Chains A and B, each alone.
Chain A
Amino acid sequence: MTDGSMTLAPMATPEPARLRHSLFAPDKRTAARNAQEARFRFYGLVAIVIALLALVWLLFSIFSAGLPAFRQTFVEIPVTLDAAVLDKAGHGDPAEMASVTTIGYGKLIGKALAAEIEAKGIDIGAMTPKDLVGMISENAAADLRDRVLADPKLLGTTVQFTALANGRIDGYFKGRVTMESAARDNNTSPEKLMLADKLVAAGVMDMRFNPGFLVMPDASDKRPEAAGLGVAIIGSLYMMAVVLCLALPIGVAASVYLEEFAPKNRWTDLIEVNIANLAAVPSIVYGILGLSFFINFAGLPQSAPIVGGLVLTLMTLPRIIIPTRAALKAVPPSIRDAALGVGASKLQTVTHHVLPLAMPGVLTGTIIGLAQALGETAPLLLIGMVAFVRDFPGAPLSGLFDPASALPVQIYNWTQRGDPGFVERASGAIIVLLVFLIIMNTAAIILRRRYERRW
């Protein structure tokens, strides 16, 4: 029996002097640490409050500026569609009728408005008929012309016509235009505003929900009241469809290959680093790539959702690949072992077990990637989607090649316009964009919740 027990005996080292402290009285160090912790909590709280205030302020400013865009001032008047003016040849042939420009229709509307004002017994003072026409949006004549050309039988009848009021009149009711500013404005006058008040009182003019904001195309600089998001929304949807159809399968396939099949060597490391870097590349670079490759080299049309979709696909790919790989990596290796252990092939292991388990992560990554793509502006500017597009693109798939706009580009575009009416439009568009983003993020959360599994 060797003598090991001696070495096990506690060494007689001098112990630090230990003073007996009451547990009820915290010592200095403890007090200092507690104070530190309290301070840290306070800073955190302050940071949260600042962030919340910023968010509230952002939402408030956007909503207060943007909500009026969903309401618009309309003038409702009976218009007699005089055949003598609109169809001089009298053949009822739409082709011939098309030769009558909006000026002709404008005169009819002016006449109708004057008649209506007279019928209501409102004093127009010194205002000329031209002034009266100025009360109504320049777009009204175009609307009326479209309506007649679409249905030539209306010729010679009197129709109830709902015209958009001029942007300044609309702005007056929304508080954007005041008597003082109107006096300095050569597009309107205080008299027009007073007349507008009277028209409202007479029930000819009123303000109501404007579905046109969501469905109508963009309008020219002078007609903010007629501008809508229709083309932009369709363009954005087309692009998202392209991104989803391309980025999801390509991204998932690339991730699965890299994560499950690819050998781990310098090449795959290089690819990995590059994917991470691509996610950090400024989006405008993708725009330049799209411009030089898809438009200049491949000869795809400018302003087309297909090109925007392709560019956004390139931009979104790394943003889908990275979370998808993370989701695949998060699947416990024991599941792979289990599947391989019962003799499943590599592909069966991935498709039967790994991918379903990674699906919540994949879907979340995809939707977040899509949401980012939806809000992306810079690359689209470079491929010409900022152009003024009034014509709706056709139905897919050929419609993908028609010129279109996109929501963020439309917002950018409107903020560049001179008329103050477009500021309200831009804010309204931001609200629409936000709603889309919130819907997508909610979908991401719901999908994640639903498919989330414990193992």
Chain B
Amino acid sequence: MKDLRLERDVQTETNKIEARKVQVYYGTNHALKDVDVDILDKTVTAFIGPSGCGKSTFLRCLNRMNDTVASAKVQGAITLDGEDIYDARVDPVQLRAKIGMVFQKPNPFPKSIYDNVAYGPKIHGLTRTKAELDEVVEACLRKAALWNEVKDRLQSPGTGLSGGQQQRLCIARAIATSPEVLLMDEPCSALDPIATAQVEELIDELRSQFSVVIVTHSMQQAARVSQRTAFFHLGNLVEYGETGAIFTNPKDPRTESYITGRIG
């Protein structure tokens, strides 16, 4: 009989990022233990788990933002398209242009909306002329579903926007360097439900071009936006699988306890 279940829209099965046996230490604290994850291309992957479970730590491993923390030590292998990102030859600056990041609190630069988006292309020399730069800025703001709201005030400060608009501006800024992977660290935790819905819709649209990895405290959000979900607990990757399966029938009792809101 034909499978009549609704189509689950994971479009590829190619791995964008492969993590093997990743360990992270903060000083003597073993923050992340033996994490193995394959992040699919053009897919939204959600990391969930209680505070301090290592999900943000792992996210920050993926674009080497942990390098900025002096006490952090990362072991194991993380590859982007087969290239080890912790190889000595990799310049983290270049890596971060490929793996963009959006943070928990909307953090636009205290500059104009235009400059916020144009900053990445400028420092990476992605455009040659002002007209080209204008195009990139417009394209990114359109992709971030912000263009119509700000096109008449590109020169006004980015910090003057509402929280949701600021976060979308940050997303526009992150995609302006045309990254291949977009990391989002609780991007909606500071937003109201409407702005959250807008950002979630945006994430779903961005999925056609990027691989998106999102850390979230809201399990409902993970359920809504992601196709793959990974559950972290006490530095371990407990369960990783198709989002629907995780939320209806998790295999691990710790996952079950966490997503059903029990004391785990």
Contacts and interface: CB of A to CB of B under 8 A. Distances in A.
Interface of A: 263-264, 332, 334-345, 348, 352-353, 357, 453-455
Given A263-B70, A264-B70, A455-B159, A343 B110 contact: no
A264 B120 CA distance: 29
A334 B173 contact: no
B170 A345 contact: no
Contacts of B109: 335, 338-339, 353
Given A332-B107, A337-B107, A338-B108, A345 B93 contact: yes
Interface stretch (B42-50, B97-105, B128-136): B97-105
A344 B103 contact: no
B251 interface: no
Interface in B142-160: 159
Given A341-B63, A343-B97, A454 B159 contact: yes
Contacts of A263: 70
Given A335-B109, A453-B110, A343 B159 contact: no
B124 interface: yes
B61 interface: no
Nearest to B107: A334
Nearest to B101: A341
B123 A348 contact: yes
A271 to B, nearest CB: 16
Contacts, number: 67
Interface in B54-111: 63, 65, 68, 70, 93-97, 100-103, 105, 107-110
B255 interface: no
B174 A341 contact: yes
Given A264-B70, A332-B107, A455-B159, A340 B65 contact: yes
Interface residues of B, number: 28
A280 B63 CA distance: 43
B46 to A, nearest CB: 19
A343 B120 contact: yes
B97 A335 contact: no
A410 B60 CA distance: 61
Contact of A342 (B68, B105, B120): B120
Given A340-B96, A352-B123, 18 more contacts: A335-B107, A335-B110, A336-B68, A337-B101, A337-B103, A337-B107, A340-B65, A341-B100, A342-B119, A342-B174, A342-B176, A343-B120, A343-B124, A343-B177, A344-B93, A344-B119, A344-B123, A353-B109
A357 B111 CA distance: 11
Contacts of B159: 453-455
Nearest to A263: B70
B100 A342 contact: yes
Given A343-B94, A343-B123, A454-B159, A338 B177 contact: no
Shortest 3 CB-CB contacts between residues of A and residues of B: A343-B97, A334-B107, A341-B101
A395 to B, nearest CB: 42
Contacts of A357: 110
Nearest to A341: B101
A454 B158 CA distance: 11
B179 to A, nearest CB: 9
A339 B105 CA distance: 14
A329 to B, nearest CB: 15
Contact of B110 (A336, A342, A348, A455): A455
Contacts of B173: 338, 342
A336 B107 CA distance: 9
Nearest to A345: B93
B85 to A, nearest CB: 13
A344 B70 CA distance: 18
Given A335-B109, A337-B65, A342 B97 contact: yes
Contacts of A343: 93-97, 120, 123-124, 177
10 contacts: A263-B70, A337-B103, A338-B109, A340-B65, A340-B96, A341-B101, A341-B103, A342-B96, A342-B100, A344-B123
